[in-house]
Amino acid sequence: MSFLSELSRQYIDGEWLTGDGEWDIIDFNPRNGEKLCSITVATAAEVDSAYRAAERAQPEWAGTRPGERRAVLEKAARLLGERHEETAELIVEELGVSRALADHEVRATGRLLRAAAGQTREAVAEFLPSLGDGRENRVYRLPVGVVGVIGACDFPLAVTARAVAPALALGNAVVVKPHQSAPIAGGTLVARIFEEAGLPAGLLNVLVTDSAEIGDSFIEHPVPKVISFTGSDRVGRHVAAVAAGLFKRTVLELTGGSALVVLADADLGQAVHAAVHGRARFRARHGEVADGRILVDRSVEAEFTRRFAAAVSALPAGDPHDQEIAVRPYAPESFDGEDEAVRIVNDSPHALSGAVHTADAERGVRFARRIPRGLFHVNGPVERDDPAETHGGGTGFGAGGLDGPAAMDAFTTRKWISVQHGRTVFPF
């Protein structure tokens, strides 16, 4: 992949630069240890340069017509589609996942870009009634300004796009720090696509670096008003603590899938299919959304386990470049009755996304409503990759989400303006 050398740099204010650090991040294939490229790390001074470039570029971008922003996002989606083959191969090499999973990630990212393009058309103002005569209240949605995005090592292309695309669509500028295990797919590749899509310089910057080099400067810098983080609970706690001390808004999507729950009246064939999809085919290396647990009512445990084991054992394992994926079987855990299943699910700190299977869809809805945290599916897999879905944070303290309407809350602020028509009558 000759383009790796072009992308193994920092992207700041529209320029591809060599980092000023004194050491390199080595990007390698985790499957065979092959070195893909090396990237000299960015320093804290370059963090400042990237944020200042974003700060300068953002006001003009916020003032553009929604159609102009939409055109950039739509072109980015088209470019990604045209480069599906090389992008999927990059993901296979950089992450060591199967080609089937890489294909899925590229397609999902395209959907995210197109969904974000649609967000540029969403209403930017509400008109609210007032108790006063001749007065109206308006609430405008304004971009927050600059957003800092800390990427993930699982599904890095989609995770980065899920933050970058809506932030740009809503008039913000972005600085991305991709995970050091996926600096290309989760960082500089995204920058190249948006650069070629016509995004003005400074609006998207990518810094390949590590906290060992820059400390907390990416979070503490005064320019970004929102920090978006996807990753582990441990790091998420630190991001939240640092940002809170500076009164910065955080959007945290933290690791740890909920559970796939199989009630006694479930269609076992469908439940097994969903469980295999979530546990075997969706599991990348240590995927954050894939089913954390499989909970099965004890009355159907034996039959479910037999079918599940047969289905998993039939899956081929081999070269990730093939269209199949090496699997890691997972034994069902069991429960007695619906109340115990609810208790087990709620006792876990992990709750990013879950599912329940039952012959009665409304029973499934009632079950899901008893799980206060996270996204839940009835009679489906744990993960659906629908851009309209909103993840609600992976743990008890996780907060926020980037899908669907949650992006509007994450990347805009409300500006209240009252307008008096005619003369005001003052009480004194």
Segment 115-133, tens digit of pLDDT: 999 998 776 778 888 877 7
Where does a domain end: 333, 354, 378?
A: 378
Over 50: is that where the pLDDT of 342 sits?
Answer: yes
E strands, 99-145, in order: 125-128, 135-143
Percent of the chain surpassing pLDDT 70:
84
Number of structural domains in the chain: 2
For residue 420, is it within any domain? no
Distance in angstroms (rounded) separating the CA atoms of residues 290 and 274: 11
For residue 43, is it within any domain? yes
Residues 185 and 97 placed together within one structural domain of the fold: yes
Q: pLDDT band for position 317 (50/70/90)?
A: low
Q: pLDDT band for position 55 (50/70/90)?
A: very high
Average pLDDT for the chain: 86
Residues 247 and 268 placed together within one structural domain of the fold: no
For residue 9, is it within any domain? yes
For residue 428, is it within any domain? no
For residue 37, is it within any domain? yes
Residues 173 and 242 placed together within one structural domain of the fold: yes
Among the residue ranges 55-59, 291-295, 406-410, the one predicted with the least confidence is: 291-295
| 312 vs 351, more confident | 312
Averaged pLDDT for residues 207-236: 95
Write the CB contacts of 84 (distance below 8 Å, at least 6 apart in sequence). 103, 106, 107
Over 70: is that where the pLDDT of 316 sits?
Answer: no
Two structure tokens written together for 235: 């790091």
Helix (H) or strand (E) holding 173: strand 173-177
Averaged pLDDT for residues 243-260: 86
DSSP conformation class of 352: S
Which residue from 67, 66, 23, 64 is spatially nearest to 43, judged by alpha carbons?
23
Q: Exposed e or buried b for every residue in 155-182, given b needs 16+ CB within 10 A? A: bbbbbbbbbbbbbbbbbbbbbbbbbbbb
For residue 423, is it within any domain? no
Residues 134 and 281 placed together within one structural domain of the fold: no
Q: CB–CB of 285/97 below 8 Å? A: yes
Q: What is the pLDDT of residues 18-34, one digit of tens each?
A: 999 999 999 999 888 99
Q: pLDDT band for position 313 (50/70/90)?
A: confident
Residues 372 and 308 placed together within one structural domain of the fold: yes
Number of helices (H), then strands (E), in the chain: 15, 17
Over 90: is that where the pLDDT of 12 sits?
Answer: yes
Residues 281 and 225 placed together within one structural domain of the fold: no
Residues 335 and 364 placed together within one structural domain of the fold: yes
Residues 136 and 170 placed together within one structural domain of the fold: yes
- Output the pLDDT for position 45: 98
Highest mean pLDDT: which range of 2-16, 253-267, 275-289: 2-16
Distance in angstroms (rounded) separating the CA atoms of residues 144 and 125: 15
Q: What is the pLDDT of residues 397-417, one digit of tens each?
A: 344 566 667 888 899 999 988
Residues 224 and 313 placed together within one structural domain of the fold: no
Find the CATH number of the domain harbouring 270: 3.40.309.10
Find the CATH number of the domain harbouring 149: 3.40.605.10
Q: Exposed e or buried b for every residue in 402-419, given b needs 16+ CB within 10 A? A: bbbebbbbbbbeeeeeee
Residues 164 and 209 placed together within one structural domain of the fold: yes
- Output the pLDDT for position 41: 98
For residue 422, is it within any domain? no
Two structure tokens written together for 285: 């290396």
Query: Please, which residues bridge with residue 249 across strands?
Result: 226
Over 50: is that where the pLDDT of 201 sits?
Answer: yes
Q: CB–CB of 75/81 below 8 Å? A: no
Percent of the chain surpassing pLDDT 90:
57
Which residues constitute the domain of residue 349?
259-378
For residue 156, is it within any domain? yes
Cβ burial, residue 395 (10 Å; 0-12/13-18/19+): buried
Which residue from 192, 170, 174, 197 is spatially nearest to 71, judged by alpha carbons?
197
Cβ burial, residue 347 (10 Å; 0-12/13-18/19+): exposed
Query: Please, which residues bridge with residue 413 across strands?
Result: 142
Q: pLDDT band for position 62 (50/70/90)?
A: very high
| 381 vs 140, more confident | 140
- Output the pLDDT for position 244: 95
- Chain centroid, CA 380 distance in Å: 20
The residue assigned the tokens 């600085």 is 175
Residues 77 and 8 placed together within one structural domain of the fold: yes
- Output the pLDDT for position 190: 98
- Output the pLDDT for position 413: 92
Residues 57 and 72 placed together within one structural domain of the fold: yes
